Structure 1
Amino acid sequence: MAGIQSSLIWIVYAIVVAILFAVASIFIYIYQTPRDRSPLVTIVSIITITALLATVLLQPVDVALISSTTSSKLGRRKDWASQDEVDKIVFSLRVVYYLLYSLDAVLCLLVVPFTYFWYEEYDEVAVQEGEQTFGKRFWNAFKYTIAFIFLAVILFLAGFFIPIRGISEDKDLDFFKKLLTENHGERALTFALGILLTLGTCLYVVYTSTGFAFLPITLIKTAPSISNPTLKANTASQLESNRERQRQLNARCGGDTDQLSSKDRREFDQLVREERTLIRRQRLIEEAQGEGRSWLIQAWFKIEAVFRPFKLLGGILLLIVAIFIWVSMLLTAIDKANNSVCKHNCGYILGHINVFNPINWIFVQSARVFPVDYVLFALIVLLFFSSSVVGIATVGIRFLWIRIFQIRKGHTSPQALLLATVMLTLITLALNYAMSMIVAPQYATFGPQTFCDKPINHPGAQADCSDDKDKDLIKPCTELADNPAAKEVCTPSVVSTFFNRVTLNFPYFGVIIFWAQFVFLGLYLIILVTSLFRTPKLDEHQIDEDAEEAEEEGLLASTGRRFNATWQDIRGEESA
C-alpha cells in the first residue's frame, strides 16, 4: 500500500514536469523574436525554466511523501513506517533535490553563459568565407565561460573553509542543532546555495513585487474592444483615403508642395504624419494577429482572443488572491520578527506558528487529500512565476539605471532571453524559500503531520491517542515540541531542512533574506496603490515605442463590445 501511494505521488510529479515543459516551451516561443532565433538558445532556455519550476514543485511531493508515513487522525506513524522506511524516503528526496539544485546551478552558472557567448560569437560573413569553424567558435565561447567556472569554484572553496556559527546551549534548540553541518562538502554546498539564494532574493524583491502588483491590474485595465480584423480593415480604408487625398494635393501643385497655399500645406503635413501613424498601426495589428509567425504563436493569439472577455474577471480574482497571499506573508514575517527562537543569531528561524496564517491553514488542510494541495501550490507558484516575467518585462534588464535589454512578446532577442532565464532561475530559488518559510511554513515543514501529546514509556515507543477522549491531545508537529513522542513521529520535509540549514549555518544570509521579505511587501503595496489610481507612466526613452503607440490608438472600451470583437478575432473575420 505504501509503495503504491509513493508511486502515485511520483507519477503526479512526472505529469506536472511534462506540463511544465509545455508551459516553458510556449513561454519561450511567445517571447522570442521570430526573425532571430537560435535552436540552442531555445532548447537551453526551455530546459532551464523547466528544471527550475520542477525544483519548486517538488516541495508538495516532499510534503506528501513525508506525511504519508503518519496518520494525522491518530497522531502516530503508520504500521509500515519504521525508521528505516522513513530514512529511505528522506534519502530519495534528498538525492532528487541535490540533483535538481545541482542542475539549476550548472545551467545558471555554466550552460547559459556558454550558450550566450556561443551565440555572440556567430559571424555570418566569417562562416560564409570559411574563416569561422565550429572548433574556433566553441573555443571562443568556452574562453569567456571560464570566468564563470572560476566563480563556481570560488563559491565552493569559500563555503568549504568559512567557519559556521554555533548556537547557544539551549535545550529548546536541540532540533536545530542537528542542522549544523560538520561535513565540509555539505557546508560548501550550503554556502553556495546561500549565495545564490541571496542574489535571487534581491531580484525577487525588485522584479517579482513589481509583477505581482502589475499582473492583475494589467488584466483589469487592458482588454481591446475592437477586433483585430475589424481594426485592420478600418485602418486600411483610412490609409487608402489618406493617400488618395495626398495624391490630389500633389496633382494640384505638380509635385511641388511649396506651391500649395498655407492651408493646403498644413493639411498635407498633417496627412503625412497621419500616414506614418496608420502604417505603424497596421504593423501592430499584423503582429497582434500573429501574421508571419509560427502556427503556435497564432494559436496562442486565438486562445488569448477566446479568454479576452474574462480578463476583467480574472484580473479582479487575481488581485484578491494576491492580497490574500500578501496578508499571509505579512503575518508570518511579523511572527518571525517577534517570536524567532534566536532572532538574528540563527537567521530568524521560527520554531512554531504563533500567528494564524490563512494560506498556511488552507495548505495544511488540503494536504490531507493529495493532490489538492499540489494543485493549489502549483497555481500559486505559477502566479509568482508569471509575476516575475511581468516584472522583468516592465522594468527591463538593467545595469543600474541603464536598460540593456527589453523583454517583449515576439520581440525578445536571444541574448535577452538567456539573461532573463538566468534571472528567473535565481528568482525561483528565492521563491522556493518564500513559499517554504514565509507563505506556508507549517505546511512546508511538516504538512498535516500530528503527534499524540502523551507521555511514552520508553524511547522508540509511540503514544496512543486512539481513544476518542484523547482526540484533544493530538497536536500538529512543530520543531520545538518538547514531548519525546513528537521526536518519534514528526519528520521535517527535506526542503525545510535545506533552508533552515542555510540560515542556521550562515545567519547573515538568513538576516538579509528575512528583512528582504518586508521590502518585497512594501514595494508591492506602493506599486499596487499607485497602479490602482493611475496608469503607470514610464519615461518615454524607456517605454517601448510600439506599446506607446498602441496605447495612444485607444484600443480600450466597454466590456459589452468585447464579445463581438472576440468572436471576430477567433474566426479571423472582418465585420461589415
Structure 2
Amino acid sequence: MALIQTSLIWVTYAIAVVILLAISSIFVYIYQTPRDRAASVTTVCIFTTSALLATVLLMPVDIALVSSTSLSSQGRKKDWATPNRVDSIVYTLKIVYYTLYSLDAVLCLLVIPFTYFWYEEYDEDAAEHGEQTFGNRLWGAFKYTIAFIVFVVILFLVGFFVPVTKQAKHDHRLDFDYFKHLLEENHGERALSFALGLLITIGTLVYILYTGAGLALLPVALIKSAPSVSAPILAANTASQLEQNRERQRQLERRNEGREGGLDTRDRRELEALIREERTLIRRERLAAESSGEDRHWLIKAWIKVEAVFRPLKLLGGLILMVLALLIFISMLITGIDKASNSICKAHCGYVLGHINIFQPLNWIFVKSSKVFPIDYVLFLLLILFFFCASVVGIATVGIRFLWLTLFKIRKGHTSPQALLMATAMLTLIVLAINYSVAMVVAPQYTTFGPQTFCDRLARHPREQPDCSSDHGAIKPCTELAENPVAKDVCTPSVVSTFINRVTVNFPVFGVVSFWAQFAFLAVYLIVFLTTLFRTPKLDQEEMDRDLEEEEEEGLLASTGRRFGATWQDITGRVRKNNYGATERNGERS
C-alpha cells in the first residue's frame, strides 16, 4: 500500500512535468520572432523554463510524501513508516531538490549566458564564405562566459567557507529540535544554501517589480482586452479601403499627366492626404495579418484560434483571477504581519515563524485539500501557473530595463533571441523568489507539515505509540515549536521548508531582505491594481506607441467592447459577405 501511494505521487509529478514541458514550448514559440529563430536558443529556453517550473512544483510532492507517513486523524505514524523508511523518503527528496536547484543555478548563470554569446557570435556573411568555423564561434562564446564561470566558482567557495551566524547557534530561542537540525549541515550543503540564498534574494528584487505588477495586470487585462473587431473583418475592410485609396491616387496622377506645373494645390493636398492614409492602412493591414496568424508558425496560429474560442470566457476568467489575486494579497499580508509580530527571533533568524497565530485563508484551503491527494496538487499547480503567467505579463508590459532605459521588449511573435534568453534568466530568478514566497508567506503551514498532526499525550509504554482515538481534542497540528516528545517522532517537516529555513537561519540577511521584500511586492501590486481599475492596460503596444495614429489602430483590436461575431470570425477565419460581395460589420456595409 505504501509503495502504491508513493508511486502514485511520483507518477502525478511526472505527468505534471510533461504538461509543463508543453506549456514551456508554447510560451517560447508564441513569443519568439519567426525570422530570427535559433534552435539553440529555443532548446535552452524551453528546457530552462521546464526545469524551473519542475523545481517549484516538486513542493506539493514533497508535502504529499512526508504527509503520507502519518495518520492525521489519529496523530501518529503509520505502521510501515519506520524511521528508516521516513529517512529514505527524505533522502530521495533531498537528492531531487539539490539536483534541480543546482541545475537551475547552472542554467541561469552559465548555460543561458553561453547561449546568448553563442548566438551573438554568429556571422552569416562570414559563415557563407567559410571565414567562421565552429571552433572560432565556440571560443568566442566561451571567452565571454569565463566571467560567469569565475562568479559561480567564487559564489560556491564563499558559501563553502563562510561561517554560519554565531548568534543563531547561541540563541536560546532556537533550542527546539527543529531549529537545531537546521544548524547541522556539512560544507557542501552550506555552499548550496548560500548560493541559492543569494539567487533568491536577487530574484526577489526582480519579483517585486515584474510579478507584483503582473499579478494586478493579468486579471484586468483579461477583462478589458477582448476585441470588438475580428481580425478577418479588419483585414477585409482594410484591403478594400487600401484599393480605393490607391485607385484615387492613380486617378489624380492620370488627370494631371502632361500638365506643366504638375499637380495643382488642391490635388497636391489631396494626394498627400491619400499617401498618409495609405501608410496608416498598410500598418492596419499588417496588424490584422499578425493578429490572424498569417505567415506565422502553426503553433501560434493554433494558439490564436484557442484564444478566440475561449474569448467569451475572458471576462469570467478575469474576475476569478482578480478574486484569487486579492485572496493571495490578503493571505500574504496576514502572514507578513504575523511574522513581524510573532517571529520567535525576528531578524536574527530571518523572521522564522514557529506557528501560525492568525487565521490565514489560503493556507487553510491548502491544508484541508492536502488530506485528499491530488486535490492540493492541482490547486498548487494552478497557483504556480498564475504566478508564472503574471511574471510573463509583467515582463511583457514593463520590458527588460536598466534603470529608465529599455534594453529589450517582450512581445508575442516579435521577441528577439537575445530578449528571450534574458527573459528566461529573469524568470528563473523570479521562480526561485516565488518558491520562497509560497513556502514562507503564501501557505507556510501547508508547505512545512501539510496536514500532519500529533497526539499530545504520552504513550503508556515506551514501545507503544500514544493513543488519541478516544480523545480527539488531544490531536494538534504539527508546528516547529511543538515541545511534546511525540511530535519529534511523528512530525516530519518537508524538505523544501527545511532548506529555505536553513538559508534564513544560517544567513539571516537573506531572510530579512526576502521577508521585507514581500511588503514591497504587495505595495507594487496594490498601486498597479488601483491604476488598472481606471486605465485600460496596453499590453504589447510598444511598437504602436510611436505615434497616436498607430496607437489608434491597435485600439481596433484591443478595445473594451465585445461581440460574439468577432469571436466566431476569428475562429473560422472567414468574413460574412452580403449579396453584393461587400463585407458587413455591425450591420454596416463597407
Tell me which interval the TM-score lies in, with the shorter structure as reference length: over 0.9
**Contact 1:460–1:488 under 8 Å retained in 2:** no
SS in 2 for 1:433: helix
Q: TM-score, normalised by structure 1?
A: 0.96
Q: Is it true that 1:489 corresponds to 2:477 in the alignment?
A: no
- After the TM superposition, which of the residue ranges 451-460 and 535-544 deviates more from structure 2? 535-544
Contact kept, 8 Å, 2:221 with 2:536, in 1: the verdict is no
Report how far residue 170 of structure 1 moved. 3.4
- Equivalent residues in 2 for 1:122-133 (5 A)? 122-133=122-133
Q: What is the aligned counterpart of 1:344 among 326, 347, 352?
A: 347
> Deviation at 1:309?
1.4
Range 178-187 or range 100-109, more displaced: 178-187
* CA positional deviation for 1:70: 0.3
Output the CA distance in 1 between the equivalents of 2:159 and 2:365. Answer: 38
Q: How does 1:358-377 map to 2 (within 5 A)?
A: 358-377=361-380
Work out whether 1:452 is the aligned partner of 2:455: yes
- AA of the residue aligned to 2:78: K
> SS of 2:182's equivalent?
coil
Determine the C-alpha separation between the residues in 1 that align with 2:297 and 2:235. Answer: 20
The alignment status of 1:388 with 2:395, answered yes or no, reads no
Matching residue of 1:569: 570
Q: State the partner residue of 2:337.
A: 334
How far does residue 174 in structure 1 lie from its aligned partner after superposition? 3.6
What does residue range 430-449 of structure 1 map to in structure 2 within 5 Å?
430-449=433-452
Q: Secondary structure at the match of 1:360?
A: helix
**Gaps (5+ residues) in structure 2?**
578-590
| Deviation larger for 128-137 or 3-12 | 128-137
**Structure 1 residues 171 and 311, CA, compared in 2 at 3 Å: closer, same or farther?**
closer
Asked if the contact 2:159–2:192 (Cα under 8 Å) also holds between the matched residues in 1, the reply is yes
- Following TM superposition, the consecutive aligned residue runs of length 4 or more in structure 1 with deviations greater than 6 angstroms are 255-258, 537-543
| Secondary structure at the counterpart of residue 407 of structure 2 | strand
1: distance between equivalents of 2:258 and 2:297?
43
Contact 1:530/1:536, CA 8 A, preserved across alignment = no
User: What residue in structure 2 maps to residue 413 of structure 1?
Assistant: 416
Q: Which aligned pairs between 1:87-236 and structure 2 lie closer than 5 A?
A: 87-166=87-166, 167=168, 168-170=171-173, 173-236=176-239
Cα distance 1:255–1:127, how it changes in 2: closer, same or farther (>3 A)? farther
User: Which residue number in structure 2 is paired with residue 30 of structure 1?
Assistant: 30
Aligned-partner residue type, residue 501 of structure 2: N
- What are the ranges of 5 or more consecutive residues in structure 1 without an aligned counterpart? none
Answer yes or no: is 1:505 the counterpart of 2:506. Answer: yes
1:250 touches 1:256 (CA, 8 Å); kept in 2?
no
Amino acid aligned to 2:160: F
Secondary structure of residue in 1 paired with 2:401: strand
Q: Which residue of 1 aligns with 2:74?
A: 74
Output the CA distance in 2 between the equivalents of 1:255 and 1:194.
79
Q: What corresponds to 1:551 in structure 2?
A: 554
Is residue 21 from structure 1 mapped to residue 21 from structure 2 by the alignment? yes
Quick one: which of 356, 359, 363 aligns to 1:353? 356
Q: 1:203: Cα distance to partner?
A: 0.5
Give percent identity, aligned residues only: 66
Query: For the residues of structure 1 that align with 2:149 and 2:16, how far apart are their CA atoms?
Result: 32
Structure 2 CA distance, aligned partners of 1:522 and 1:112? 31
Match of 2:515 in 1: 514
The one-letter code of the counterpart of 1:371 is P
SS of the aligned residue for 1:8 comes to helix
Aligned CA RMSD, in angstroms, stands at 2.0
Q: How far 1:274 moved relative to its partner?
A: 1.1
The match for 1:422 among 425, 428, 436 is: 425
Contact 1:250 1:257 in 2 (8 A): no
Contact preservation (8 Å) 2:173, 2:345 = no
Higher deviation after alignment, 546-555 or 339-348:
546-555
1:42-57 residue pairs with structure 2 within 5 A?
Answer: 42-57=42-57
The number of aligned residues is 572
**Relative to 1, partners in 2 of residues 1:554 and 1:423: Cα closer, same or farther, differing over 3 Å?**
closer
Q: Distance in 1 between matches of 2:462 and 2:349?
A: 29
Structure 1 equivalent of residue 524 of structure 2? 523
Give how far 1:247 is off.
1.9
Instruction: Give the Cα separation in 2 of the matches to 1:16 and 1:507.
Output: 34
1:456 touches 1:484 (CA, 8 Å); kept in 2?
no
Structure 1 residue corresponding to 2:284, chosen from 274, 281, 284:
281
Q: 1:554 to 1:5 in 2, by over 3 A?
A: closer
Alpha-carbon separation, structure 2, partners of 1:257 and 1:299? 56
Question: In 2, distance between residues paired with 1:285 and 1:423?
Answer: 31
TM-score, length basis structure 2: 0.94
Indicate the SS of the match to 2:172. Answer: coil
After TM superposition, the structure 1 stretch with the greater mean CA deviation from structure 2, 43-52 or 178-187, is 178-187
Contact 2:366 2:446 in 1 (8 A): yes
